[in-house]
Amino acid sequence: MDNKVANLINEQINKELYSAYLYLDFANYYAAVGLDGFENWYRIQAQEERDHAMLFYQYLQNNSEPVVFASVDKPDWTRGDNMTPLIKGLEHEKYVTSLINTIYAAAYEARDFRTMQVLDWFVKEQGEEEKNASDLITKMELFGSDAKGLYMLNSELKARVYAAPSLVL
Ligand SMILES: [Fe+2]
Ligand SMILES: [Fe+2]
Q: Tell me, what DSSP letter sits at residue 144?
A: T
Residue-by-residue DSSP string for 45-105: HHHHHHHHHHHHHHHHHHTT------PPPPP-----STTHHHHHHHHHHHHHHHHHHHHHH
* Domain 3-158: homologous superfamily in CATH: Ferritin, core subunit, four-helix bundle (1.20.1260.10)
Predicted local confidence at residue 118, as pLDDT:
98
126 is in an annotated binding site: yes
- One digit per residue, the tens of pLDDT, for the chain of length 169 reads 999 999 999 999 999 999 999 999 999 999 999 999 999 999 999 999 999 999 999 999 999 999 999 999 999 999 999 999 999 999 999 999 999 999 999 999 999 999 999 999 999 999 999 999 999 999 999 999 999 999 999 999 999 999 999 999 9
Give the number of whichever ligand sits closest to the CA of residue 49: 1
Q: Which residues surround ligand 2, an ion (CB under 5 A)?
A: 129
Q: What is the Å distance from ligand 2's center to 45 Cα?
A: 7
φ, ψ at 68 (rounded to 5°): -120, 120
Task: Measure the CA–CA gap between 75 and 152, rounded to whole angstroms.
Answer: 28
Q: What is the Å distance from ligand 2's center to 148 Cα?
A: 29
Q: What is the Å distance from ligand 1's center to 125 Cα?
A: 8
Inter-residue contact 146 to 110 (CB < 8 Å) = no
Give the number of whichever ligand sits closest to the CA of residue 133: 2
Give the number of whichever ligand sits closest to the CA of residue 167: 1
* Closest CA relative to residue 55, chosen from 99, 118, 112: 118
Predicted local confidence at residue 51, as pLDDT:
98
Q: What is the Å distance from ligand 2's center to 129 Cα?
A: 6
Predicted local confidence at residue 27, as pLDDT:
98
Predicted local confidence at residue 114, as pLDDT:
98
Predicted local confidence at residue 150, as pLDDT:
98
For the stretch 77-92, what's the b/e string if a residue is b when 16 or more beta carbons lie within 10 angstroms of its beta carbon? Answer: beeeebeebbbbbbeb
Q: What is the Å distance from ligand 1's center to 147 Cα?
A: 32
Q: What is the Å distance from ligand 2's center to 17 Cα?
A: 10
Domain boundaries, the chain: 3-158
Q: What is the Å distance from ligand 2's center to 49 Cα?
A: 6
Q: What is the Å distance from ligand 1's center to 129 Cα?
A: 8
pTM for this model (two decimals):
0.97
